[in-house]
Homo-oligomer: A and B are copies of this chain.
Amino acid sequence: MPVTLRALNLSFDPIERAALLWREHWGDGDQAVDAMAAVTSIMRAHQILLAELDALLRPYGLTFARYEALVLLTFSREGRLQLSKMGERLMVHPTSVTNTVDRLESAGLVTREPNPRDGRGTLAAITEAGREVVERATRDLTAAKFGLGTLTEAELAGLFAVLRRLRIEAQDFS
C-alpha cells in the first residue's frame, strides 16, 4: 500500500473554506452544505487512517484489508472459514477475497482447504505463523489506538452510532 501521508500544514482548513465558498455560490439551502463538508471529511479521514494503519502493518507484510481477514479467522471457532463467508463478514467482493487469501497464502499466514461439507466451497485456515503475526500486529495497532488517539470514548461511540445509521440505510444489514 502506497499512501504515505504528507503533512500539509496549511494555515486554514481547506474543507471549511470550501464550505464557506459553497454557501456563497450555491446558497446554503437545506443541509446540502453540511452534508458536503461531512462527506469530504469522511473521505479525508479514510485516507489519513488508511495511511497510518498500513504504515503500522507494513513491517508484517500486511495491509489493513489483509489484517482484517486474519482477525476474522482468528475469531472463528476452528480458525477456518469458507471464502464466501469471509466476503460476507468483511463486506468485500468475492474476487477481492480470492485476492486477499492468495496473498496471505503466499506469505504462509493462511492455507487453503476444500470444505469437507460442501464440495463447492474452499476454506481459508490461519496458520501458526498467521496467529503470531496477528497478535503482534494487534499489539501495535492497539498501542497506536488505531490512529484515533485524539478522540474520547464518547466520540468513538458517537462516530460508530452515526455511521451505523448510514450503513443500515445502505442495507449492510437489517
Contact = CB atoms under 8 A, between A and B. Distances in A.
Interface of A: 5-18, 21-22, 25-26, 29-32, 34-50, 52-53, 64, 68, 71-72, 74-75, 88-91, 93, 138, 141-142, 145-151, 153, 155-160, 162-167, 169-174
The main secondary structure of chain A at its interface with chain B is: helix
Contacts of A147: 35, 39, 166
B34 A153 contact: yes
Contacts of A68: 40
B163 A41 contact: yes
A39 B119 CA distance: 36
Closest A-B pairs by Cβ, 7 of them: A7-B171, A46-B46, A41-B163, A32-B142, A35-B146, A34-B156, A10-B173
